């Protein structure tokens, strides 16, 4: 059985999409998977809408074109729904992980599974901020990791601890754990 | 495989043949006026001027093209350019 | 020590190859999308991992001038550039080849302006076609790493003595992160000779003048000598590639990469990032019962004439994807292939597809659409056909 997942990240310049997607690749590669993280560069700057693509597979990945029909879409800012359509091309029964609180309404006519993660709250609670601004991509990745279910917590912690000094690493791990508790698999 | 050839030249006398016959005027050193500063030796682009043991300059007329730089630079006017045709 | 597998961008993979090749001098000027290569190398130098000198020059022209001087005294030299930077470097790139200096450089391909554009096409790279540089174009970060290390061994070979360029597409390779297996430093050291084995051109004990005015007749012979040497370099490339394969498990003994070509009646030919899409298209078409293959041109100069000839002996249709255009002529890679076929006396159906100009994406669907349209006779052979995101333009 082949395993292939295509993920499209929608966010804004400065959210750390590229770093987070790369981090995810590092985790899955350590579990023996192949992965690819493609940033889309253009005139994007801090605050402008940006996209990053992640491909995960159990066989080598040859193609490097943009992901048009993702299995999973991640949206780091619900206001993006007002200016673009982050769900375009999402596969039938595709998954949407969005940074939003319970009351935020995200309407979709399709049968997508929408998972709301209050990433701002989780980041603030974990002390995961850069210059006072919450890092929202890490909690969203926590939810994603839970859904993917291919990386064990030990590996996640290992990669995080290699990347950051202990104090910062613990904040990242806390945020990841809190986010994964929000997600119910079923 | 063919051997690699480099676009290099080794130093040597006169790859283009002797250049003394390019000259229409030649430098004559007036030893009485020479102060042995060596500037003619420094400036000669060929180089066709050599210094003897005493430090006096001499011209190698086989290579000197007669450009006159030595005469121009000589601070004591000890080099005179003389026509080859007189 | 065991090997590590890291998730690296193409640019970081190049920087790691430079680290493991123990490069001694890196004169470079930043330009998107090359910048992160040099940044990473600078980090290796600043943290004491690499004992090299980074020369912060004022332009690409100066970068190559410094590279020429350093390489002439036998120092292992590397630089990288892109696009307008490559063109600004241009005069000295030819100088480096004619002076027979074993410089290694990475060219991250990027569209030339105006209008301003940072995305990939191969127009900048193709200007080096006739320069005397040995030119590789790779299709992923792993190849960027592997071939950069091999490049030094090829360039410094006393029978080759030519600069080597490794090119790859902007962003889709340069900034895309993917797993890359690295050699250990011990393995790299065993594979690559010490830089002290490089034959210096300038030597205080044996003074030379480089590039003096020659007699035209002698100069002609120098030019023919370079031409012979770059053709002979195919042997060195294959030999080094085989040796690297034995060491790493990744074989580079061929100038090209054949994918399902053995029984193919139609073969796509492309180079760089789009090759991955081409191979995926082959799989899809094979699933439908079509006998299709893909040939990736990895060594662009010297050109793999023999390999093209062999492919053309079995196939009846070649579809060539060029990501660079000779204005007033046609697809550049197509013309290379067509001239090989003509010289070999092979007359088969060929198609000149111009795709991916200005950084537009070339997808698996584009390959498939072109395949169907050549089969149905919708496209003319030998005419330049422009396709942009699935539409003929």
Q: What is the pLDDT of residue A103?
A: 82
Please give the CATH number for the structural domain made up of C256-392: 3.40.50.920
Query: Chain B contacts of C232, Cβ < 8 Å?
Result: 1-2
Query: Chain C contacts of A36, Cβ < 8 Å?
Result: 176-178
Q: How far is B4 from chain C (nearest CA, A)?
A: 6
* Residues 6+ positions from C319 with CB-CB distance below 8 Å: C266, C267, C268, C269, C350, C351, C353, C370, C371, C374
Q: How far is C310 from chain B (nearest CA, A)?
A: 24
Q: Which of A21, A41, A63 sits opposite C364 (nearest CB)?
A: A63
Task: Write down which chains contact chain C via at least 3 CB pairs under 8 A.
Answer: A, B
Sort strands A49-57 and A72-75 into parallel, antiparallel or unpaired. unpaired
The answer to whether the CB atoms of B7 and C210 lie below 8 A apart is: yes
Distance CA A101, CA C343 (A): 69
Model confidence over C315-330: pLDDT tens digits? 999 999 999 999 999 9
Q: What is the pLDDT of residue B15?
A: 65
Task: Write down which chains contact chain B via at least 3 CB pairs under 8 A.
Answer: C
Query: Chain A contacts of C5, Cβ < 8 Å?
Result: 29
A27: nearest CA in chain C? C7
Distance CA B63, CA B26 (A): 11
In chain A, where the domains are located: 4-182
- Judged by a CB distance cut-off of 8 A, whether residue C71 touches chain B is no
Return the closest-CA partner of residue C4 out of A134, A41, A29.
A29
B15: nearest CA in chain C? C214
The answer to whether the CB atoms of A39 and C362 lie below 8 A apart is: no
Q: How far is C102 from chain B (nearest CA, A)?
A: 12
Q: What is the pLDDT of residue A123?
A: 95
Query: Chain C contacts of A163, Cβ < 8 Å?
Result: none
Q: Which of C175, C179, C364 sits opposite A41 (nearest CB)?
A: C175
Distance CA A72, CA C356 (A): 27
Considering the domain delimited by B25-83, tell me its CATH architecture: 2-Layer Sandwich (3.30)
Lowest-pLDDT choice from B44-48, B75-79, C119-123, C170-174: B44-48
The answer to whether the CB atoms of B6 and C201 lie below 8 A apart is: yes
Q: What is the pLDDT of residue A42?
A: 72
User: What is the mean predicted confidence (pLDDT) over A74-82?
Assistant: 93
Whether C272 contacts C167, CB under 8 Å: yes
Interface subset of A 13-52, CB within 8 angstroms of C: 21-22, 25-26, 29, 34-42
* Residues 6+ positions from A28 with CB-CB distance below 8 Å: A35, A56, A148, A150, A151
In chain B, where the domains are located: 25-83
Whether C18 contacts C191, CB under 8 Å: no
- Judged by a CB distance cut-off of 8 A, whether residue C392 touches chain B is no
The answer to whether the CB atoms of A25 and C175 lie below 8 A apart is: no
The answer to whether the CB atoms of C361 and A66 lie below 8 A apart is: yes
Task: Write down which chains contact chain A via at least 3 CB pairs under 8 A.
Answer: C
The answer to whether the CB atoms of B8 and C228 lie below 8 A apart is: no
Conformation bin of residue C81: beta by default, left when phi > 0, alpha when psi is -120 to 50: beta
Q: Which of B1, B2, B9 sits opposite C209 (nearest CB)?
A: B9
Distance CA C220, CA C326 (A): 27
Q: What is the pLDDT of residue A109?
A: 73
The answer to whether the CB atoms of A36 and C177 lie below 8 A apart is: yes
Return the closest-CA partner of residue C19 out of C102, C93, C96, C76.
C76
Query: Chain C contacts of A42, Cβ < 8 Å?
Result: 118
Q: Which of C159, C208, C232 sits opposite B8 (nearest CB)?
A: C208
Residue with tokens 């174009």: C137
Q: What is the pLDDT of residue A43?
A: 63
SS3 content of chain A, % helix, strand, coil (to 5): 35, 25, 40
Give the dihedral sign, CA B2/B7/B8/B13.
positive
Weakly modelled stretches of chain C, pLDDT under 50:
none
Whether C359 contacts C120, CB under 8 Å: yes
Q: How far is C109 from chain A (nearest CA, A)?
A: 15
**pLDDT confidence bin for A106, thresholds 50/70/90:** confident
The answer to whether the CB atoms of A36 and C364 lie below 8 A apart is: no
Q: What is the pLDDT of residue C204?
A: 84
DSSP C92-125: HHHHHHHTT---EEEEEE----SSP--S--SHHH
Interface subset of C 211-230, CB within 8 angstroms of B: 211-212, 214, 221-222, 225, 228-229
Touch A-B: 3+ C-beta pairs under 8 A? no
According to CATH, the topology of domain A4-182 is: Pyruvate-ferredoxin Oxidoreductase; domain 3 (3.40.920)
Residue A114 has pLDDT above 70, yes or no: yes
Residues in chain C whose beta carbon is closer than 8 A to a beta carbon of chain A? 5-7, 33, 118-119, 140, 171-173, 175-179, 273, 275-277, 279-280, 361-364
Report the share of chain B in percent with pLDDT over 70: 94
Give the dihedral sign, CA C65/C68/C69/C71.
positive
According to CATH, the topology of domain C4-248 is: Rossmann fold (3.40.50)
Q: What is the pLDDT of residue B18?
A: 85
Distance CA C119, CA C96 (A): 27
Query: Chain B contacts of C204, Cβ < 8 Å?
Result: none
Residue C260 to residues C250, C267, C279, C288, C387, Cα–Cα distance (Å): 18, 9, 9, 15, 24
């Amino acid at each position: 059985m082949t395993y292939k997942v295509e993920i499209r990240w929608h966010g804004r310049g400065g959210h750390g999409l590229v770093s987070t997607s790369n981090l995810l690749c590092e985790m899955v590669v350590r579990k023996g998977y192949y992965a690819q993280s493609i940033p889309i560069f253009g005139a994007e700057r801090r605050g402008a809408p940006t996209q990053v693509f992640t491909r995960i597979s159990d066989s080598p990945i040859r193609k490097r074109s943009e992901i048009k029909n993702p299995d999973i879409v991640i949206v780091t800012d619900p206001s993006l729904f007002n200016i673009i359509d982050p769900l375009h091309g999402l596969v039938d029964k595709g998954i949407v992980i969005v940074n939003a609180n319970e009351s935020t309404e995200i309407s979709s006519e399709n049968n997508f599974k929408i998972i709301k993660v209050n990433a701002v709250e989780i980041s603030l609670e974990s002390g995961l901020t850069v210059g006072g601004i919450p890092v929202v991509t890490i909690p969203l990745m926590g939810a994603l990791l839970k859904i993917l279910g291919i990386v064990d917590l030990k590996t996640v912690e290992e990669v995080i601890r290699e990347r950051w000094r202990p104090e910062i690493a613990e904040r990242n791990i806390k945020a990841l754990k809190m986010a994964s508790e929000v997600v119910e698999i079923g | 495989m063919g051997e690699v050839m480099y676009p290099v030249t080794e130093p040597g006398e006169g790859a283009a043949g002797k250049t003394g016959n390019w000259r229409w005027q030649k430098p004559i050193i007036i030893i009485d006026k020479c102060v042995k500063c060596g500037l003619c030796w420094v400036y000669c682009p060929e180089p066709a001027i050599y210094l003897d043991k005493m430090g006096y300059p001499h011209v190698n007329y086989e290579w000197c093209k007669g450009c006159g730089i030595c005469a121009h630079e000589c601070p004591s006017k000890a080099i005179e350019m003389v026509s080859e045709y007189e | 020590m065991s090997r590590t597998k890291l998730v690296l961008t193409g640019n970081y993979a190049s920087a790691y190859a430079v680290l493991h090749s123990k490069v001694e001098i890196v004169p470079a000027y930043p330009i998107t999308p090359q910048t992160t290569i040099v940044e990473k190398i600078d980090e290796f130098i600043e943290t004491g991992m690499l004992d090299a000198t980074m020369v912060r020059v004022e332009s690409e022209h100066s970068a190559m001038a410094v590279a020429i001087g350093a390489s002439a005294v036998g120092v292992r030299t590397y630089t990288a550039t892109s696009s307008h930077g490559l063109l600004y470097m241009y005069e000295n790139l030819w100088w480096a080849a004619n002076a027979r200096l074993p410089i290694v450089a990475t060219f991250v391909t990027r569209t030339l302006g105006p209008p301003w554009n940072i995305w990939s096409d191969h127009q900048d790279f193709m200007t080096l076609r006739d320069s005397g540089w040995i030119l590789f174009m790779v299709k992923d970060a792993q190849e960027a790493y592997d071939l950069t290390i091999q490049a030094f061994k090829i360039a410094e070979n006393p029978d080759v003595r030519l600069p080597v360029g490794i090119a790859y597409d902007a962003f889709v390779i340069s900034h895309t992160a993917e797993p890359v297996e690295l050699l250990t430093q011990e393995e790299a050291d065993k594979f690559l000779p010490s830089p002290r084995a490089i034959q210096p051109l300038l030597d205080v004990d044996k003074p030379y003048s480089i590039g003096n005015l020659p007699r035209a007749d002698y100069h002609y012979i120098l030019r023919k000598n370079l031409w012979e040497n770059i053709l002979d370099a195919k042997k060195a490339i294959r030999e080094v590639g085989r040796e690297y394969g034995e060491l790493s498990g990744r074989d580079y003994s061929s100038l090209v990469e054949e994918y399902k070509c053995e029984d193919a009646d139609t073969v796509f030919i492309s180079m760089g990032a789009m090759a991955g899409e081409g191979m995926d298209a082959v799989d899809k078409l094979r699933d439908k019962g079509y006998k299709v293959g893909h040939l990736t041109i990895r060594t662009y100069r010297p050109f793999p004439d023999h390999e093209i000839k062999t492919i053309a002996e079995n196939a009846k249709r070649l579809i060539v994807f060029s990501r660079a255009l000779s204005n007033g002529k046609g697809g550049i890679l197509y013309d290379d292939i067509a001239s090989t076929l003509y010289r070999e006396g092979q007359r088969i159906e060929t198609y000149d597809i111009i795709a991916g100009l200005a950084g537009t994406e070339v997808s698996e669907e584009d390959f498939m659409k072109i395949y169907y349209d050549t089969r149905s006779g919708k496209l003319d052979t030998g005419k330049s056909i422009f396709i942009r995101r699935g539409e003929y333009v």
